[in-house]
Amino acid sequence: MSELVYGLHAVEVLLKRSSDRVERLYIQSNRHDQRSHKVVKLAQDKNIEIIQKERQELDEMTDQRHQGVIAVCRPEKKKSFHEKHIPELLSQIDEAPFILILDGVTDPHNLGACLRSADAAGVHMVIAPKDNAASITDVVRKVACGAAETVPFIPVTNLVRAMKQLQEAGVWIAGTAGEAEQDIYQANLKGPLAIVMGAEGEGMRRLTRENCDYLIKIPMAGEVSSLNVSVATGVTLFEAVRQRIK
């Protein structure tokens, strides 16, 4: 069964990384901008069939925001990761492990944005609960702009057990919480590290919080008490990147 990949950036990444999966490309007939021309040129270079369609016809193919471009492709043979793969993935890392844990992020747009930030920051894996949390979907893939295919995403049945696995392997776990005494600029975010981001609104669950090695926070100067989880993830990850580069 074929899959649809839509959106300019997502389709561009697909054509660059896995063009052999693309069966044909639908492009909005009245689009003549530079970004759409770039996608069309990539498809032409790979001898992929290009079909022009009216905007309404593309809207009928998907109810998502397609930006005038939809690729029809063969399903990717993805490796599914499970909790049992954590030790194997850790053993393959030749530097200090850098891990993101998402404790119950439910919005697929937030998950996609978190994966995109994780990929950009060089995170080695993303761990999240299997239940009551967002999983990898077409929407997540589009928002992630290719990161859903590059960063191992590991849904686990027991998040605390997975955290203990990391700790036993020498990874320190820093949980983000508004009541933390030290902020991300004071904390040591170097070395083997996993950063835990809580769910939208509620933050980390009690057991997750209790099993962190220490808590950190983003200092807030304004009246708003918290940031969107995907924004907070990006801020925290890149402070860790700054420290680890230094």
In angstroms, rounded to a whole number, what is the distance separating the alpha carbons of residues 142 and 159?
A: 26
Give the contacts of 190 (CB within 8 A, at least 6 positions apart).
Answer: 96, 240, 243, 244
Q: Is 203 annotated as a binding residue?
A: no
In angstroms, rounded to a whole number, what is the distance separating the alpha carbons of residues 244 and 192?
A: 10
Q: Is 170 annotated as a binding residue?
A: no
- Measure the CA dihedral 19/89/152/43, to 10°: -10
What type of residue is 30?
N
In angstroms, rounded to a whole number, what is the distance separating the alpha carbons of residues 172 and 147?
A: 24
Identify the CA nearest to 9 among candidates 99, 59, 71, 52: 71
In angstroms, rounded to a whole number, what is the distance separating the alpha carbons of residues 130 and 128?
A: 6
Q: Tokens 């960063």, residue?
A: 151
Burial class (CB in 10 A: 0-12, 13-18, 19+), 217: buried
Q: Is 198 annotated as a binding residue?
A: yes
Question: Binding site: which residues?
Answer: 198, 218, 227
Binding residues for S-adenosyl-L-methionine: 198, 218, 227
